[in-house]
Amino acid sequence: MRKYAVVFRVSLSERMIYRGDFFLSALMHFIPIITTILLWQAIFDGADVDKMGGLRYREMVSYYLLVMVSRLFGSMPRLAAGISTDIRDGELRKYLLQPIDYIGYLFMLRIAHKMMYMLTSLLAYGLVFWLCRDFLPQWTNPWIPLYYITSLILAFFLGFSIHCVLGLLGFWFLEVASFLRIFMTMHYFLSGHMFPLSLLPDWLHGYVLWLPFAYETYYPTMIGLGRMNTDQMLEIVCIQFLWATAMLGLARWMWHRGLRRYAAYGG
Amino acid sequence: MSMISVNNLRKTYRVHVKPEGLKASLKGLFRRRYKEVRAVDGISFEIEPGEMVGFLGPNGAGKTTTLKMLSGLIYPTTGQVHVLGYVPWERHHEYRRQFALLMGQKNQLWWDLPAMESFRLHQEIYGIEDARFRRVQGALTELLDVGKLLHQPVRELSLGERMKMELIAALLHSPKVLFLDEPTIGLDVIAQTNIRQCLREYNRDEQVTIVLTSHYMQDIEALCRRVLVISHGQLIHDGPLSDIIDRFATYKLLSLRFANGDWPEGLDKIGEIIERSRPSVTIRIPRDQVADRTSELLGKYAIQDFSVEDPPIEEVIATMYSTATDRNKHQRHCDGGSECNNTTDSESNMANA
């Protein structure tokens, strides 16, 4: 598996070239958060209630801060679009000729990308979290750090496999970009990125929490907030693991089916 | 045993026919019309180890499609192919370790990184030992004279320099079979010559089997003893390049230089005059009349010098392509009743083509 380690190293040095971009984009990501927090402040003030969706104002703020951490692991910018362009433009050919597995290759590329991103955005995150230190949750349960980190790592696997599935749709549809845009908007909401899913009305709540997307952002964030007990945390990471495995299995299956189709049509 | 064996290979594509106009486009959303295009239409050939074969044909003749089938990127509709004993489209890792496909218009190198980084990546992907990697990479770098450019990001290289790097990347794992699709496209004469020389030496030293397509006849003339010519998906010639001239050149070029510095009258009766530059003249003469006409001229006029030459190979190839096209058209007209071309329309309800 040394070759995948080298893919990792080479893509790391490629990503280095974009370190300035990374730092800036990390900083930019916090701007919408500030407006969201101000908005919630106004809502809490105006509604004159203590809690919304089971969260106090302080918790609401820290929810959004921790969502940023979840996204740091689970978001996969340009992964799905990249796969579908590789398929459409015939770039895929390059990986079919060489003795290397495309999905494994993308995986190493993504880890390198994530590590580089985390490294360069460390300063930005540190700054914001330091400024907001009063809002951050106090962890009382000693199991939280372990489960939190596990669930973040699983969020990465889950995000990766879901986006692979989306990108591989490119085998069947020529133009995936507009579909991806619609999906990403839905995803913003369904993953709990837009607001905590506990705010949803009961009838919808149940369905949305069943979907894999909630396990990318919402659940890891709730663990980080300290809102889950030990049993719940264990259940969450187990389901995350199952979803990630299922999605990766789906991606593998699509890859094999898609290749047959690709090879029959053009290439 | 042959290195490459191709038997009755066919590839039919189904392409979506997009009619003109908005109304027709809307209709096309529900009912799509397809037509079948025979890209490769029953070709067979064998290539022995160490051979260097040129693959010629006009645009759209099926060259690239054939190369893609040989490298396992696409499945054929029918027919058998064995390369190094493998069926290419089963895409065994073992097969992929032993061949390379280089396409002049596609790149394998990482755009933002120096070529050396991509080479190192290839080393790992193909599992090349360090000593061998250094030897092969060193030799090729020297042969193509790109040592100074190895550590410069690929995006800063010129087209010719990039192509040389691509060639090195393709040869690093010492493939036994090399497919080259237009390796010299867009390159200047010097770079073309360099690449040709590299291929020739590589073929000689490593006994690599090479199949090469190119629109530059110099590439083919310089490298390939044998050429396969494909037109409309069918093989119309398999043999030495010179045979093409024997088969398809219907005339020769006779150049005369007159002793008294001027042409006599009535030369145009001998044959078509295609070039005059006093005191020389070039006349096109049918092949079977060359001997008669030459002796007639030599007897009649005071001639200082003369030569008989074949027409330029490009011209002969063009004649060959158009002959093949005419024959193909004729054949299609005679083939079927109401449907006179080889496309068949089919309709189906499709949502996801």
Domain final residue, candidates B309, B329, B345: B309
In this structure, are B125 and B206 located in the same domain? yes
Please report the pLDDT score of residue A266 as a whole number: 56
Please report the pLDDT score of residue B118 as a whole number: 92
CATH code, domain carrying B140: 3.40.50.300
Tell me the residue range of the domain where B76 lies.
47-240
* Predicted TM-score (pTM) of this structure: 0.82
Residue B109 and residue B162 in contact, taking contact as beta carbons nearer than 8 Å: yes
In this structure, are B146 and B231 located in the same domain? yes
In this structure, are B118 and B217 located in the same domain? yes
CB atoms A7 and B121 under 8 Å: yes
ipTM score over 0.85, yes or no: no
Q: How far apart are CA B215 and CA B217, in angstroms?
A: 6
Please report the pLDDT score of residue B250 as a whole number: 84
Q: Is B105 on the interface with A (CB under 8 A)?
A: no
Paired sense of beta strands B226-231 and B234-240, if any: antiparallel
Please report the pLDDT score of residue B340 as a whole number: 38
Domains of chain B: total: 2
In this structure, are B58 and B170 located in the same domain? yes
How large a percentage of chain B has pLDDT more than 70?
Answer: 94
Provide the 3-class DSSP secondary structure of residue B82.
Answer: strand
In this structure, are B216 and B272 located in the same domain? no
Annotated domain spans of chain A: 2-265
CB atoms B121 and A6 under 8 Å: yes
CB atoms A99 and B96 under 8 Å: yes
Q: How far apart are CA B21 and CA B75, in angstroms?
A: 34
Please report the pLDDT score of residue B346 as a whole number: 37
In this structure, are B254 and B212 located in the same domain? no
Largest CA distance in chain A: 64
Interface test with B, best of A11, A86, A98 (most B CBs within 10 A): A98
Q: Is B156 on the interface with A (CB under 8 A)?
A: no
Tell me, what amino acid is at B99? F
Please report the pLDDT score of residue B15 as a whole number: 78
CATH code, domain carrying B275: 3.30.70
CB atoms B125 and A98 under 8 Å: yes
Q: Is B301 on the interface with A (CB under 8 A)?
A: no
Shortest alpha-carbon distance between residue A38 and chain B (Å): 41
Burial class (CB in 10 A: 0-12, 13-18, 19+), B93: exposed
Provide the 3-class DSSP secondary structure of residue A235.
Answer: helix
Given a cut of 70, the residues of chain A with pLDDT beneath it are 1, 264-267
Please report the pLDDT score of residue B341 as a whole number: 40
In this structure, are B166 and B189 located in the same domain? yes
Residue B301 and residue B310 in contact, taking contact as beta carbons nearer than 8 Å: no
Residue with tokens 């692991």: A73
In this structure, are B283 and B166 located in the same domain? no
Please report the pLDDT score of residue B343 as a whole number: 38
Provide the 3-class DSSP secondary structure of residue B249.
Answer: coil
Residue of B nearest to A13 (CA): B113
Q: How far apart are CA A169 and CA A167, in angstroms?
A: 5
Q: pLDDT (tens digit, 9 = 90+) per residue, A78-93?
A: 999 999 999 988 888 8
- pLDDT means per 10 residues, chain B with 353 residues, are 93 81 76 84 95 91 91 92 95 93 83 91 92 94 92 92 93 94 87 90 92 89 92 91 85 87 78 84 89 87 88 85 80 50 37 32
Please report the pLDDT score of residue A234 as a whole number: 97
Provide the 3-class DSSP secondary structure of residue B46.
Answer: strand
Tell me, what amino acid is at A77? P
Residue B107 and residue B162 in contact, taking contact as beta carbons nearer than 8 Å: yes
Domain final residue, candidates B309, B328, B345: B309
Rounded to the nearest integer, the mean pLDDT of chain B is 86
Q: How far apart are CA A178 and CA A170, in angstroms?
A: 12
Shortest alpha-carbon distance between residue B47 and chain A (Å): 21
